[in-house]
Amino acid sequence: MEAHRLIADAREAAANSYSPYSHYRVGAVVVTPDGDEYRGCNIENAAYGASICAEANAITTAAAHGVRQIDTVAVTCLDGDACSPCGNCRQIMREFNVRRVILTDEAGEPVEYALADLLPRSFGPEDLK
């Protein structure tokens, strides 16, 4: 099943996590409407606030390759029961019109959400037009 495969790929991405401070390895995979995929992991910094989440890394990598529309983001972590995107990453997802977010439950099984449910009544690009 696609969701299982994407979570497996996110786990692979998490293996490259640079997280010497939290020891919390997160991986993310972005899928475009054309089926192109981009991966990212969290990259921490001694100045903690300069750290980059896995989702932000994957999404900005996709954007740097010219992607402007994202269908799905899959996220998982290797060092906890389950992880859920922070508010900042939900807003970054919103910018690129993410439709579906795949997370994992405590057993590592994929669980799908609509971004609209994770970030209700959101502010986005249309609000500035």
Residues that bind ligand THU (CB under 6 A): 19, 22, 24, 26, 42, 44, 51, 53-55, 75, 83, 85-86, 89
The residue (of 26 and 70) whose beta carbon lies closer to ligand THU is 26
Q: Quote the least distance from Cβ 90 to ligand THU, whole Å.
A: 9
Residue 30 has φ and ψ, to the nearest 5°, of: -105, 135
- Say whether 55 is catalytic: yes
For the record, the structure tokens of 50 come out as 């300069």
CA-to-CA distance for 74 and 115, rounded, in angstroms? 12
Question: Between 26 and 67, whose beta carbon lies closer to ligand THU?
Answer: 26
Write down the least CB distance from residue 36 to ligand THU, Å. 21
- H or E stretch covering 14: helix 2-14
- Alpha carbon dihedral 24, 41, 59, 123, in 10-degree steps, equals 10
12, 37, 55, 95: the active-site residue: 55
